[in-house]
Structure 1
Amino acid sequence: MEANNTFHETEEEIVLQKQGNAYILSTLSGTVGEITFRLVEAGTWVIDHTYVDPRYRGHQLGKQLLNMVVREARDKGRKIIPSCAFALEEFKKDSTYADVWEKGKSTSDFSDHHSSGSAIMGR
C-alpha cells in the first residue's frame, strides 16, 4: 500500500509518504514528521516512534500519522502495541483504536527510551 497524500494544515504544502515501516511528512525544506512501526510477532506491530517538528505541532499531524498506521493495521489484520508515549496516550484517549490495540503486551518491553529526536532527520 503506497500512501502519497498532501495536507494543507499549515501555510506550506505537507506531503505524506510511506517509506518501509514508516510514514513521513515532508515539505520542500525536508522532513517535518514521522511515525515508525515494526513487526514484533506474527500479526502484531509496535509503534516505537512518533515525531513532529515543533514548528508544525498543533495541527493534528501526529494524529494523522497515527491514523495511517492504524488504517494499514486494520487492512492487514494486525494488532498494535503503542510503545511510544504519543501513540499510547492517543490509544488511551480514543476508543476507536480499541479494535487494533494489543493490550496483552507491556509497552515497556518495546519502548524506545532514546526516541526524543527524529531518526530520519538525524541522517
Structure 2
Amino acid sequence: MAEQLPEIELEDRGSKGRYFLRGPNGAEAEMTFTRIGEHKFIIDHTEVPDAFRGQGAGLRLVTRAVEDARASGKKIIPLCPFAAAQFRRHAEWHDVLAS
C-alpha cells in the first residue's frame, strides 16, 4: 500500500522543518524536525491522520529523514516517541543515530 501514497515533500525553514505527505481532502501526515548546529537534528513530532493510517506513512517519513541524514552526513536525535520506536526496530539506522 505504501506505493500508493503521494511523494514525500520537504519544507525547510532554516532551523526547523518538516517532511510531509499531502493526501486527499487536504489531509497531511507530517514529521517535524529542529536542527541543532550543522550536524544534528531532532525529530520532534510525527502525526499521521486517519486518512493515512495503516499505510506506512509514518515509517516512510522517518525513513526519508534517515536517508537524507545519511546523504548529508548528519545525525538524528529521535525525541518523538514514534521515531524513537522506529530506531529501536531498525538497527540498520544506528549509523545516523546521535550518541
For this structure pair, what is the TM-score category when the shorter chain's length is used for normalisation?
0.7 to 0.9
Q: What does residue 47 of structure 1 align with?
A: 43
Q: Give the SS at the match of 1:67.
A: helix
C-alpha separation between the residues in 1 aligned to 2:27 and 2:35? Answer: 24
Q: What does residue 117 of structure 1 align with?
A: none
Q: What does residue 88 of structure 1 align with?
A: 84
What stretches of structure 1 move > 6 A for 4+ residues in a row?
Answer: none
Structure 2 residue ranges without an equivalent (≥5): none
Q: TM-score under structure 1 normalisation?
A: 0.69
C-alpha root-mean-square deviation of aligned residues, in Å?
Answer: 1.7
Higher helix fraction: Structure 1 or Structure 2? 2
Cα shift at 1:7: 4.4
Is the CA contact 1:7–1:16 (under 8 Å) kept in the aligned structure 2? no
Cα shift at 1:42: 3.1
Higher relative contact order, chain-length normalized (CA < 8 Å, sep 6+): 2
Is the CA contact 1:37–1:49 (under 8 Å) kept in the aligned structure 2? yes
Which residues in structure 2 correspond to 1:4-23 (within 5 Å)? Answer: 7-9=3-5, 14-20=6-12, 21-23=17-19
Q: What does residue 68 of structure 1 align with?
A: 64
Cα shift at 1:76: 0.7
Distance 1:15 1:22, change over 3 A: same
C-alpha separation between the residues in 1 aligned to 2:59 and 2:80? Answer: 13
- Residue 33 of structure 1 aligns with an amino acid whose one-letter code is A
Q: What does residue 31 of structure 1 align with?
A: 27
Structure 1 residue ranges without an equivalent (≥5): 1-5, 104-123
Whichever of the two has the greater Rg, that structure is 1
Q: What does residue 120 of structure 1 align with?
A: none
Q: TM-score under structure 2 normalisation?
A: 0.85
C-alpha separation between the residues in 1 aligned to 2:92 and 2:26? Answer: 32
Deviations 1:63-85 (A, max 9, x none): 00001111111111000000000
Q: How many residues are matched? A: 94
Q: Give the SS at the match of 1:22.
A: strand
